[in-house]
């Protein structure tokens, strides 16, 4: 099981357990985590699941695809060095824990 910690832009924290194969976005939606909209349902077409991954976790993630990189250029709040789309981060054996912060705006 992957432990995901979501911190809002104003410091509120929610911690949940992600099922294997579940994305960080799906876990947030399933648990009502504020700050992640996931308007497109995770098909990489809206960028409303933008998160800033904790720098300690960022390098452990698989490289982003060109499409994810392009989508991050269209987020409501400017991307940061450790920005990712949470629909593209999947829980699994290699990801035991992840910490993300949600931006102030998604739309």
Topology (CATH) of 2-101 = Ubiquitin-like (UB roll) (3.10.20)
Digit-coded pLDDT (tens) for 56-78: 999 999 999 999 999 999 999 99
pLDDT of residue 86: 97
pLDDT at 93 over 80: no
Confidence of residue 92 (pLDDT cuts 50, 70, 90): confident
pLDDT of residue 95: 87
Digit-coded pLDDT (tens) for 5-55: 999 999 999 999 999 999 999 999 999 999 999 999 999 999 999 999 999
Strands across the sheet with 97-101, in order?
13-18, 2-7, 97-101, 50-53, 83-85
Map out the domains of the chain as residue ranges. Answer: 2-101
């Amino acid at each position: 099981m992957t432990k995901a910690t979501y911190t809002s832009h104003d410091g509120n924290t929610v911690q949940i357990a992600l099922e294997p194969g579940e994305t960080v976005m799906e876990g947030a939606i399933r648990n009502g985590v504020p700050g992640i909209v996931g308007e497109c349902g995770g098909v990489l077409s809206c960028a409303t699941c933008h998160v800033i991954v904790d720098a300690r976790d960022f390098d452990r993630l698989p490289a982003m695809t060109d499409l994810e990189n392009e989508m991050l250029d269209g987020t409501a709040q400017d991307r940061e060095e450790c920005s990712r789309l949470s629909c593209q981060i999947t829980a699994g054996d290699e990801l035991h824990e992840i910490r993300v912060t949600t931006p102030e705006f998604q739309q």
